[in-house]
Structure 1
């Protein structure tokens, strides 16, 4: 029982705490971003070293260290993007008239360096972990990357909630690349894929022949992917994802899920969001 319950609690606490810390750091004055990136880079180095060491050790401590190390490496990816250090060659809003391939190319240019950074770090992580006795840390990083790619695609194609209140001011132009719809054609496959992965991992963890390391490692991965599925669910539920971090984020008017009368591409105008329904412009 411990090998199943403790990993779930550990993964949830690590996920929520690390995400909250990153959001808080990215809401500090921009003058602090250099120090934030310096600290994140040091933690990235520690994460890669932790992944390299833990991958060669098949023990409970190594499995937990692998997950922590994967989160440290992924934290650098998130901080580099949210601080604006690693985004893309395009740093302006999407042209209102952009459609189809024009909009897609513009959206890719906005996050191109960020995506290449994920690929670069992912290759390093895969090389040092996936053929090792304890690959759980590397698989955790790749799972985070896959779920985040799915989230970006769904935001581009259209969802109910953007989570725009979690974007710092210097990245607010990203909202213009999102589309507001109740759901898109990719979304069910994203959720089904994540859910199927969770079920498969849990089945292996609970199998009679699984040792404690296998049970713990698979439960940690299942928990992490389940949290990614939860993030996807918040995209279409009538509750904005920033509700999880209400005490951390500064107050800001956001688009509410019922405001679906806006065009299929774009965001809710700020004036419409900040005023009650029925008020004069």
Structure 2
């Protein structure tokens, strides 16, 4: 388990499997109308994530690296589940008016995800406090990569990219499609690519110079995660059928009325 190749494979598998599992659970909630109950039943995932993070902070071994990584993913995954289920989103569920432009469009878009952004920020704040003085900060680093990648992705979807996968947008979040802009990239895209490439380079450099098991495994996990974040952004412009990675495991979506949302 101290092999960087094994750690990288496990990070990629965790990304693929957790994404598919969350999409599957949300689609099931869409069909049954059990969004609130689904998020409530998933609360143990949040608790287990916090427990894993706490257990990793002073564990300077490969186990500590895996615990921190898995804990941060569990915390992040619960918040994402709550968002995709339409439970933690924002004060507005309105579609973007066709005439909205500039600052008005931005603030309308932010109101659709404000509570979600707050929840993600609170999670980051909690990890920063918990990791203060800790010897193992893999959990915080994992969450930071996810946090940065998500913000950059949202801004690019808002400002414009050629490829937007609408297939997996949950029934309770269909109004968000009106805030996506399908078209040429903005300056935000090269900025995001530059930032994520630099992040990947830093993680890879730390992996190359790792002198302990926790650093070797931890930076292998982080390097794989940073590479996936960069890949997800390139898939906004490169025409590859990435949806096939999860489509086979999902039930058919249910179309909801505006009243049901």
Q: TM-score over 0.5 for the alignment?
A: yes
Cα pair 1:12 1:224 within 8 Å, conserved: yes
Q: How many angstroms does 1:70 deviate by?
A: 0.7
Query: Which sits farther off after the overlay, 211-220 or 25-34?
Result: 25-34
Change (3 A) 1:144 1:84: same
Secondary structure, counterpart of 1:165 in structure 2: coil
> d(CA) in 1 for partners of 2:2 and 2:79?
32
Higher Cα Rg, which structure = 1
**Residue 220 in structure 1 maps to residue 221 in structure 2:** yes
Match of 2:131 among 129, 132, 144: 129
> d(CA) in 1 for partners of 2:2 and 2:57?
22
Change (3 A) 1:42 1:2: closer
> d(CA) in 2 for partners of 1:93 and 1:240?
27
Write out aligned runs for 1:69-108 (5 A): 69-108=71-110
Aligned residue in 2 for 1:33: 35
Secondary structure, counterpart of 1:170 in structure 2: helix
Change (3 A) 1:151 1:30: farther
Write out aligned runs for 1:181-200 (5 A): 181-200=183-202
Please report the RMSD computed on the Cα atoms of aligned residues, expressed in angstroms. Answer: 1.7
Write out aligned runs for 1:40-79 (5 A): 40-79=42-81
Aligned residues: 251
> d(CA) in 2 for partners of 1:21 and 1:129?
28
Aligned residue in 2 for 1:17: 17
Secondary structure, counterpart of 1:101 in structure 2: helix
Cα pair 2:163 2:235 within 8 Å, conserved: yes
Q: Please list the CA deviations of residues 113-164 of structure 1 after superposition, one character each: whole Å capped at 9, or x if unmatched.
A: 1101111111111111253111001110121111001100000000112221
TM-score (norm 1): 0.85
> d(CA) in 2 for partners of 1:31 and 1:179?
29
Cα pair 2:157 2:164 within 8 Å, conserved: yes
Q: Please list the CA deviations of residues 53-108 of structure 1 after superposition, one character each: whole Å capped at 9, or x if unmatched.
A: 11121111111011111110001111110000000000010001000111011001
Q: How many angstroms does 1:32 deviate by?
A: 3.0
TM-score (norm 2): 0.91
Aligned residue in 1 for 2:257: none
Cα pair 1:161 1:234 within 8 Å, conserved: yes
Aligned residue in 1 for 2:5: 5
> d(CA) in 2 for partners of 1:69 and 1:115?
19
Change (3 A) 1:44 1:2: closer
Larger RCO (CA within 8 A; separation ≥ 6): 2
Aligned residue in 1 for 2:232: 231
Q: How many angstroms does 1:219 deviate by?
A: 1.2
Secondary structure, counterpart of 1:91 in structure 2: coil
Aligned residue in 2 for 1:148: 150
Q: How many angstroms does 1:36 deviate by?
A: 1.9
Secondary structure, counterpart of 2:237 in structure 1: coil
